[in-house]
Amino acid sequence: MSRPHSLGRIETVRAFAPGRVNLIGDHTDYTGGLALPMAVEMGTTVTGRRGGRSVVLSSDALPGDAVFDLPVSGPLQLDGWGRYVEAVAAGVHPESGLTGRVTTDLPIGAGLSSSASLEVAVALALGHPGPPLDLARTCQEAEHMASGVPCGLMDQLVSVAAVEGQALLIDFTDLSVRPVPVPPDIEVVVIHSGEERRLAASAYAERRRSCEEAAALIGPLRRATLDDVDGIADPVIRARARHVVGENTRVLSFAEALAAGDPAECGRLMLESHRSLSVDFSVSTPRLDAMVADLSGLPGVYGARLTGAGFGGCVVVLARPGAVWEGWRVRPSGGARVTVG
Ligand code: GLA
């Protein structure tokens, strides 16, 4: 029997990638340090049909469509959210196009990694074969290309590799990950400061450069001690390095305290982390400082800190259930997933 003519198989696809909140360990990923982010249940979904040689996506959250032909080569042509989609396509080299829709229940640009979640969902929808580290790296490169911000790998890696019910202890020196259960009797609440973050602002790149300068003086910050840091002459570089070296230690202590069911110790470490991000790393704002001070005085709150890059965005709070009334209560979600029909 002869085979019927192929009508060109049309595949429907649905890809979801979560956003994240970082419990502790900020501005450490790009130094080979430690961080403990957790994926949240909010995220980005891409649904559509694969086929043809163009990408045509609309969004329920943002204006404009992402429309371009494959393959993507040369400088990116699009602006806005479409630029991220185009950058992902440049890295994925998809075999076929995609027509569909992007929906999200993440607040956009608020510090919950809406762009990483968009990148990972689009990469999967476009057919990235998915070894987790490759997928995260492709999306990190897309972020660099689209935004110009030299971000680390944390947001994309946790969106890809998260495990339901757990935060992810990530070691950015060897890129190993260890899930750490988040006890169900602890509430994680994320509260937006109302200050829009301009991550693309040069401040992030400047902080990253300072850390590289510090490492050129005293070696990899992951292995450096506070004594090594004290030997740095420049007070600004010294302060930046002090944050990173201290933060790595706090991440490990936090992971231990979480596993040991000691939320009070976790909270204490969060307050230390915030102080270090504010005083030594200078990425807080008066509003974030005031929120952390107010929240940490509430009964039932173990601790609070700015989360993510800073310069506005969100505060993460660890509390007894019901202690905090505002914000988003988030639970640790599993990582990105895709179904193809
Ligand atoms: C942003 C970046 C991450 C990380 C954090 C700060 O979210 O995308 O790579 O550097 O800031 O911890």
The dihedrals phi and psi of 297, each to the nearest 5 degrees, come to: -85, -5
Q: Hey, which residues are catalytic here?
A: 155
Nearest atom of ligand 1 to the alpha carbon of 153: 9
Q: Is the CB of 152 under 6 A from ligand 1?
A: yes
**Is the pLDDT score of 4 beyond 80?**
no
Q: Is the CB of 288 under 6 A from ligand 1?
A: no
Nearest atom of ligand 1 to the alpha carbon of 152: 9
Specify the residue with its C-alpha closest to ligand 1, atom 2. Answer: 151
Residue 104 contacts residue 61 (beta carbons within 8 Å): yes
* Cα–ligand 1 centroid distance for 106 (angstroms): 17
pLDDT (tens digit, 9 = 90+) per residue, 180-197? 999 999 999 999 999 876
Q: Is the CB of 189 under 6 A from ligand 1?
A: no
Under the banding of pLDDT at 50, 70 and 90, the label for residue 210 is: very high
Query: In terms of residues, how long is the chain?
Result: 341
Q: According to the model, what pLDDT value does residue 201 have? A: 65
**Is the pLDDT score of 7 beyond 60?**
no
**Mean pLDDT, residues 129-150:** 95
Whole-prediction pTM: 0.95
**Among 151, 157, 244, which is best to mutate for testing ligand 1, by the most ligand atoms less than 8 A from CB?**
151
Measured distance CA(7)–CA(170) in Å, rounded: 46
SS3 299: coil
Specify the residue with its C-alpha closest to ligand 1, atom 1. Answer: 309
Residue carrying the six token digits 């990923």: 29
Fill in the amino acid letter for 37.
P
pLDDT (tens digit, 9 = 90+) per residue, 29-73? 999 999 999 999 999 999 999 999 999 999 999 999 999 999 999
Residue carrying the six token digits 């007894």: 320
Residue 190 contacts residue 112 (beta carbons within 8 Å): yes
Encoding tokens for residue 263? 């939320």
Specify the residue with its C-alpha closest to ligand 1, atom 9. Answer: 152
Q: According to the model, what pLDDT value does residue 110 have? A: 80
* Cα–ligand 1 centroid distance for 208 (angstroms): 10
Q: Which of 83, 270, 114 is nearest to 192 (CA)?
A: 114
pLDDT (tens digit, 9 = 90+) per residue, 251-273? 999 999 999 999 999 999 999 99
Q: How far is CA 75 from CA 49, 83, 90, 205, 215, in A?
A: 26, 10, 10, 21, 32
pLDDT (tens digit, 9 = 90+) per residue, 75-91? 999 999 999 999 999 99
